């Protein structure tokens, strides 16, 4: 029987790449996101077989909506084997004392509360069935703050703490918990961070060959396909010329 994977934030970037990687590896995949049209298009792109891909349109920030979305799953899709908590974003790069509180709220509600919401609604079923794997998308930004990163870095530090905490909580079970920490990945991440300013976004990747979304998806799939007795607890993935969150050599 094919395993079922749920990928949050699957309509672009790393989430989309993860969905493609899992479908390609023979998994059944539930893709989630807020962009209904993109979800529908991605379903068609991923497979002609409706038994392979299912789209759920909801916002992980809203606990009640998350609950209803999970409850709405058809019986054939309910036994989720792998949860990829990918939904997340950065907004702004201002000093903390000049930051936009609305941006702070969105980052906290998505990166932290959204991850908690999905964990709360999916993991109990894994515990009951005695199998499952939670893969959380962290960041090198969670290891140490960088200039202007303040709140985003804090949310990714929280993701690391929550991932470590969950791993402790399920240590007596067969469940596995993994934290993936990407460095510089060229997706629409920076365009979102700079509210659509393409010039500022493009400048982030100038002078260096950054990671791709597919690079991270490969790592996620590797962790998911490790033997049952192997738990890939944490992986830091950086571009070759990136040393950490703030040291990058540009040519």
Catalytic residue, candidates 152, 205, 222, 249 = 152
Eight-class DSSP state of 225? H
pLDDT, tens digit (0-9, with 9 covering 90-100), for 92-142: 999 999 999 999 999 999 999 999 999 999 999 999 999 999 999 999 999
CB 34 within 8 A of CB 12: no
Residue 38: φ, ψ to 5°: -65, -40
- pLDDT value of residue 50: 86
Q: What is the rounded CA–CA span in Å between residue 110 and residue 66?
A: 12
What is the average pLDDT score of the chain? Answer: 96
**pLDDT(53) > 90:** yes
% of the chain with per-residue pLDDT over 70: 100
Instruction: Give the Cα separation of 14 and 148 in Å (integer).
Output: 23
Q: What's the predicted TM-score (pTM) here?
A: 0.96
Query: HSE-up of 60 (CA within 13 Å, CB side)?
Result: 31
DSSP 20-63: HHHHHTT-EEEEEES-HHHHHHHHHHH-S-TTTEEEEE--TT-H
Taking Cα atoms as reference points, which of 177, 178, 248, 182 lies closest to residue 215?
182
Tens of pLDDT, residues 141-177: 999 999 999 999 999 999 999 999 999 999 999 999 9
Sheet arrangement for strand 176-182: 53-57, 28-33, 4-7, 82-85, 133-137, 176-182, 234-237
Residue 166's CB: how many other CB atoms inside 10 A?
19
Please report the pLDDT score of residue 110 as a whole number.
Answer: 98
pLDDT at residue 1, as a whole number: 85
Phi and psi at 212, nearest 5°, equal: -110, 165
| Contacting residues for 178 by C-beta, under 8 A, at least 6 apart | 133, 134, 135, 136, 163, 223, 231, 232, 233, 234, 235
Which tens digit of pLDDT belongs to each residue from 54-87? 999 999 999 999 999 999 999 999 999 999 999 9
Task: Say if residues 152 and 108 touch (Cβ distance below 8 Å).
Answer: no
Element (H, E) at 181: strand 176-182
**Mind listing the domains of the chain with CATH numbers?**
4-237 (3.40.50.720)
User: Is 152 assigned a catalytic role?
Assistant: yes
């Amino acid at each position: 029987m094919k395993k079922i994977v749920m990928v949050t934030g699957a309509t672009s970037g790393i989430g989309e790449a993860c969905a493609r990687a899992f479908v390609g590896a023979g998994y059944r995949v539930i893709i989630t996101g807020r962009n209904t049209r993109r979800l529908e298009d991605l379903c068609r792109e991923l497979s002609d077989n409706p038994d392979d891909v299912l789209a759920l349109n909801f916002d992980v920030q809203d606990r009640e909506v998350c609950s209803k979305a999970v409850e709405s799953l058809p019986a054939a899709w309910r036994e989720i084997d792998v949860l990829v908590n990918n939904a997340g974003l950065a907004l702004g790069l201002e000093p903390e004392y000049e930051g936009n509180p609305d941006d702070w709220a969105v980052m906290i509600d998505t990166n932290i509360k959204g991850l908690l919401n999905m964990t709360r609604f999916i993991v109990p079923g894994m515990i009951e069935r005695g199998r499952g794997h939670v893969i959380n998308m962290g960041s090198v930004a969670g290891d140490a703050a960088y200039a202007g990163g303040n709140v985003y870095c804090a949310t990714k530090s929280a993701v690391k703490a929550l991932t470590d905490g969950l791993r402790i909580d399920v240590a007596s079970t067969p469940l596995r918990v993994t934290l993936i920490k990407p460095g510089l990945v060229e997706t629409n991440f920076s365009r979102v961070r700079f509210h659509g300013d393409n010039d500022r976004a493009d400048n982030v990747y100038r002078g260096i060959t950054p990671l791709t979304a597919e690079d991270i998806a490969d790592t996620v799939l590797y962790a998911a396909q490790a033997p049952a007795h192997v738990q890939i607890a944490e992986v830091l993935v950086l571009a070759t010329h990136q040393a950490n969150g703030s040291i990058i050599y540009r040519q």
